[in-house]
Amino acid sequence: MSEKNGVAETADLRAAGWKAMRALMPGVFPEGDVDLRDGRLGEDLVDIGLTSVFGALWSREGLAPRDRSLVTIALLIALGAETELKTHVRIGITNGLTQDEIAEVIYHSAGYAGFPRAVAARTAAREALEP
C-alpha cells in the first residue's frame, strides 16, 4: 500500500478491502469496485467496514486468516453480536475452521463471556451453518 503522511491511502485500503472480502466470502460480491451504498440511513457504514476492517485489518500480515477468524468469532461472542457472528462463522469455514473448532470456541467463551452469550452464539452458529 502506498502511504501519504504515514497513512495508507483510501483507494489502497478500498482495494485491499475488496480483495480480502472476496477471499473471505467467495462468490458473494461481483468483480470490480462495487458501490455498497443503498440510499438509506447509515448507508456509508458498509463502506467504512470495507476500508477500515477488511482493508486495514484483515489485509494485515501477522495472523493467518484462519487465526483471525478464531479471534473474530471469540470477540463477536463476547460482544453478543450474533448478526455479525453468523457471517464470521461462514467466513471461518472458508478460512479452514471446522464446525468442531467453532463449537470449541463457543464452549470456551462460556467461561469468559458467560453462558448466555455462549448459548446465543450456538444458536447463531447453527443458523449460519444451516443448508
SS (H, E, C) the chain: CCEECCEECHHHHHHHHHHHHHHHCCCCCCCCCCCCCCCCCCCCHHHHHHHHHHHHHHCCCCCCHHHHHHHHHHHHHHHCCHHHHHHHHHHHHHCCCCHHHHHHHHHHHHHHCCHHHHHHHHHHHHHHHCC
Gap between the Cα atoms of 89 and 87, Å rounded: 6
Size of the chain, expressed as the number of residues it contains: 131
**According to the model, what pLDDT value does residue 5 have?**
47
> What are the per-10-residue average pLDDT scores of the chain (131 residues)?
56 94 94 89 94 96 97 98 98 98 98 98 98 87
Q: What is the pTM of this model?
A: 0.88
**According to the model, what pLDDT value does residue 3 have?**
56
Which one-letter amino acid corresponds to residue 95?
N
Give me the phi and psi of 8, to 5 degrees please: -60, 140
